Chain A
Amino acid sequence: MHELSLACSLVDLACQRAQEEGASRITALEVEVGALAGVMREALAFGFEAACRDTLAQGARLVIIEEPAKGVCSACRVTCRLARFTITCPACGAAALEISGGDRLCLRAIEVA
């Protein structure tokens, strides 16, 4: 359940950014969740509610932007979408696939009032 810890970090980042701008309330967090980020959406949403309590983000909406996983093969240079973690290139079969997207959890933006 590392999602609770990650949710707390996201809320901390949001509060820092809001304070820099002198905003008094955060109404939404836009969070990118990569398909290979190793994060369960439901667990993140559950942790998010708890993490927002008694902060500037209390009552904020969690807007999840799902990012599909992408890979690029360093042997044949093909780029592809990935359904799960693998290093085998679906085009040429080489064990040379590198993840090129969809493996991170990040705070893209916040909405403040």
Chain B
Amino acid sequence: MCTDCGCHPHHPDDTPHTGDPGDGYASRRLLVEAAATAANDETARHNREAFRRQRLTALNLMSSPGAGKTSILERTIRHLAGRRPVYVIEGDQQTRNDAERIERAGATAVQINTGSGCHLEAGMVARAVERLDPLPGGLLFIENVGNLVCPAMFDLGEQAKVVIISVTEGDDKPEKYPYMFRAARLCLINKTDLLPYVDFDPGRCRQLARAVNPHITCIELSARTGEGFDAWLQWLSGLA
């Protein structure tokens, strides 16, 4: 900015100082060409690099509210007790309810309350991991805010995204929320113990998931009965 009058930074000598920042110049156009998520993506890259150095396997779990993310984690933590350190970052708009459930199951948890926010961002995860101070070789579950839309757009630095749907939802969810199913590497179909009481067709759900993402793996399980957990635990051990 011109030190004489605060007008344009490249003030030509032959024009009068007027103090108007736009003085003597029509507005200038400056190229930027940057993705809106550029800052988040950069932080996510740092997270990914830090996870690799710490030999931490990080998974980003996403679903609608109530699909059973926390219940799946509780049972998973009990299965892995004594075998692998498990850490959980819990994202919710309010309360510490889920972090308390996770701690009762035996894992270390940090709760992030997003307030009005509908998704987690990489910076929130970086700060939460600092608080967790995980041991090498651990497993980090990042339980995103219950939402099938926004979380798909934000890289957290995870090794893989996992989408969870339950049989009390429609089996056409993959078709309705293609971004989420396109981003995920694994789809868990939860609450299979309720299949006799609902019209959900797991075969159709799998087919629709593959229609938006041919590389997606689908596993049916029940966090309540433990049915299907062997396949999920095997998938997890294949990652590390």
Contact = CB atoms under 8 A, between A and B. Distances in A.
A6 B36 contact: yes
Interface string A78-113: 000000011110000001000000001111111111
Interface string B6-40: 10010000000000011001011111111111111
Given A2-B154, A24-B1, A106 B211 contact: no
Contacts of A85: 178-179, 182, 212
A38 B149 contact: yes
Interface residues of B, number: 38
Contacts of A27: 27
Interface stretch (B117-125, B158-166, B191-199, B229-237): B117-125
A87 B211 contact: yes
Interface in B202-222: 210-214
Contact of A113 (B27, B116, B152, B212): B27
B150 interface: yes
A9 B41 CA distance: 11
A18 B28 CA distance: 10
Contacts of B22: 25, 113
Nearest to B151: A2
A1 B118 contact: yes
A13 B34 contact: yes
A107 B31 CA distance: 9
Given A2-B153, A9-B38, A38-B179, A110 B30 contact: yes
Given A2-B119, A87-B211, A105 B36 contact: yes
A25 B22 CA distance: 9
A109 B30 contact: yes
A69 interface: no
A9 B40 contact: yes
**10 A-B pairs with least C-beta separation:** A2-B150, A113-B22, A22-B9, A24-B21, A85-B178, A105-B36, A6-B36, A107-B32, A111-B27, A106-B35
Interface of A: 1-2, 5-6, 9-10, 12-14, 17-18, 21-25, 27-28, 31, 38, 85-88, 95, 104-113
Given A12-B39, A25-B22, A104-B35, 12 more contacts: A1-B118, A2-B118, A18-B30, A38-B179, A85-B178, A88-B211, A105-B35, A105-B36, A109-B32, A110-B29, A112-B27, A112-B28
